[in-house]
Amino acid sequence: MGMANNLAKQIARSGLTNKEVGKLAGGWTPETVSRHISGNINMTLSHAEDYARVLNCSPYDIMFEAKPMPIIGKCHIDKDGQVYREWSGKYYGKVYSHTYRPATTAIVHWTVDNAYTGGWNYWNKALESVLLDPINDKIVHPEAHGHEAYALLEHEADFAGQKTRLVAGVLYPEPGGLFTVHNGDVNQTLRSQKLVWATPVLSMILRPDLRGLEIIFDK
């Protein structure tokens, strides 16, 4: 049996029948389309590309049943071990996974400079998952209090040697709606910060390439 896919939903969305889609995609019979849907026949990327051409969607929207997770931020460790965090307010791409996650999950993508030789090399191509709703709604999620979280500062600040608005660490509420952000990894503390949003870190995903995840960056 192949992995669960999203072909049936994409066909239903198009308003076409299995027979019509199969004929347009590759001259396939309705039975072949049904077997692709059920996983009785393994659907390759080439098959998905043929279906996507007919159904006007991405091949990954067909191959993966779960909704893609948007990439909302980037982190990079340079050759000297300095961490640079990037936030633009726009999505950088999507991550597709066969594992179900809530539709409100988003991703922070990590890279490490090839010349870096320190102890954080395992972060290269790692992913961190966070809740998306607090970002969209511009709120500080209650579960970010006292826990590892990402936060967007209202104003740029010096954080671990970088001028940035995107920070990560444990949040501690202060009077007046302000927060302290402490990051023990880089021994950095920001106090009395006004936040646009803060979202808790849900998980860290190492070696996504070995877990069947597909990372597609926007061009």
d(CA 85, CA 77): 9
Question: Residue 109: which of 94, 89, 99 has the closest Cα?
Answer: 94
pLDDT digits (tens, 9 = 90+) for 125-164: 999 999 999 999 999 999 999 999 999 999 999 987 889 9
d(CA 2, CA 39): 4
pLDDT digits (tens, 9 = 90+) for 29-64: 999 999 999 888 888 889 999 999 999 988 888 887
Residues facing 188 on adjacent strands: 183
Question: Residue 192: which of 205, 208, 174, 219 has the closest Cα?
Answer: 174
Name all domains of the chain by residue range, CATH numbers in brackets. Answer: 7-63 (1.10.260.40), 69-210 (2.10.109)
- Tell me the pTM: 0.78
Give percent above pLDDT 90 in the chain. Answer: 75
